[in-house]
Amino acid sequence: MAGAGNEGRGAFIVFEGCDRSGKTTQSKKLVAALREKGVDAEWWRFPDRTTGVGRLIDSYLAGKQDTEDDVIHLLFAANRLEKKQELMSKLEGGTTVVLDRYAQSGAAFTMAKATPGLDLAWCMGVEGSRLPAPDVVYFLKAPVEMAAERGGFGDERYEVLEFQRKVADCYMNLSKMEGWRELDATQTIDALHLEICKDAMKVVEACKAGRPIDL
């Protein structure tokens, strides 16, 4: 369904990776570059800490509140599900949405806890069938030691080197799934940005034309 001034559907682009791997920087730079090329694009992030559910998540991440692993997984999922209609109408209206984290974070972070009963099927099952699937997932791969040296690391619950190593292992397994692109996040910001831009433009054009994305 084409919206005002937009032909075809928008692309759904997701950035994933460990904490401080450069997702926020790269996803924002991509949106700026797409807009410069005349693409109608928006930057979103999850968790969205501004909603009621988001405030619970924020308090959990700040270490002010504890809860069960399945409960927090469901809250993160709910936080994405509460924005589902808005997300879908943006994409259908032709707007490209670039997301800093999505359901793949839920799988990586909950799996990293190795909680009995919370396997991949359970993690993905909660939201997988209810949320639109990304057209591409850019996985920013960097040694966790490098990320840990970046400013602000350690401020929140999950920002512990040992845990981030487990999250990285989970991402390595997830990145074998269809639609994932593994990127070397140790290169310079500009080099990585150029690599992402080239790829993302092809994704945007394929979505706009209703073509399958084969790069």
| Positions that interact with Na ion (CB under 5 A) | 19, 24
Partner touching 141 among ligand DGP, Na ion, none, CB below 5 to 8 Å by kind: none
Single out the residue of 11, 83, 89 nearest to residue 47, CA to CA.
Answer: 83
Per-residue interface string for the shown chain with ligand DGP, residues 5-44, x marking contact by CB under 6 A: --------------x-------------------------
Alpha carbons 4 and 42: distance in angstroms, whole number? 16
Q: Which stretch binds ligand DGP (CB under 6 A): 100-108, 138-146, 171-179, 192-200?
A: 100-108
Which residues 6+ apart lie within 8 Å of 57 measured at CB? Answer: 47, 49, 72, 75, 76, 79
Residue of 26, 95, 110, 175 that binds ligand DGP (CB under 6 A)? 110
Q: How far is the CB of 113 from ligand DGP (least distance, A)?
A: 8
Alpha carbons 9 and 134: distance in angstroms, whole number? 13
Which residues 6+ apart lie within 8 Å of 47 measured at CB? Answer: 54, 57, 58, 61, 76, 79, 101
Q: How far is the CB of 61 from Na ion (least distance, A)?
A: 7
Single out the residue of 193, 183, 199 nearest to residue 17, CA to CA.
Answer: 183
DSSP state of 128: T
Which lies closer to ligand DGP via its Cβ, residue 9 or residue 76? 76
Whether the CB-CB separation of 181 and 138 falls below 8 Å is answered with: yes
Residue of 42, 59, 131, 158 that binds ligand DGP (CB under 6 A)? 158
Q: How far is the CB of 204 from ligand DGP (least distance, A)?
A: 23
Single out the residue of 148, 194, 199 nearest to residue 26, CA to CA.
Answer: 194
Q: Which stretch binds ligand DGP (CB under 6 A): 7-15, 68-76, 135-143, 204-212?
A: 68-76
- 64 by Cβ neighbours in 10 Å (0-12 / 13-18 / 19+) ranks as exposed
Per-residue interface string for the shown chain with ligand DGP, residues 123-152, x marking contact by CB under 6 A: ------------------------------
DSSP state of 47: S
DSSP secondary structure string, 181-212? EEEETTS-HHHHHHHHHHHHHHHHHHHHHT--
Which lies closer to ligand DGP via its Cβ, residue 73 or residue 193? 73
Q: How far is the CB of 102 from Na ion (least distance, A)?
A: 13
Partner touching 61 among Na ion, ligand DGP, none, CB below 5 to 8 Å by kind: ligand DGP
Q: Footprint of ligand DGP on this chain (CB under 6 A)?
A: 19, 46-47, 61, 72-73, 76, 101, 105-106, 109-110, 156, 158
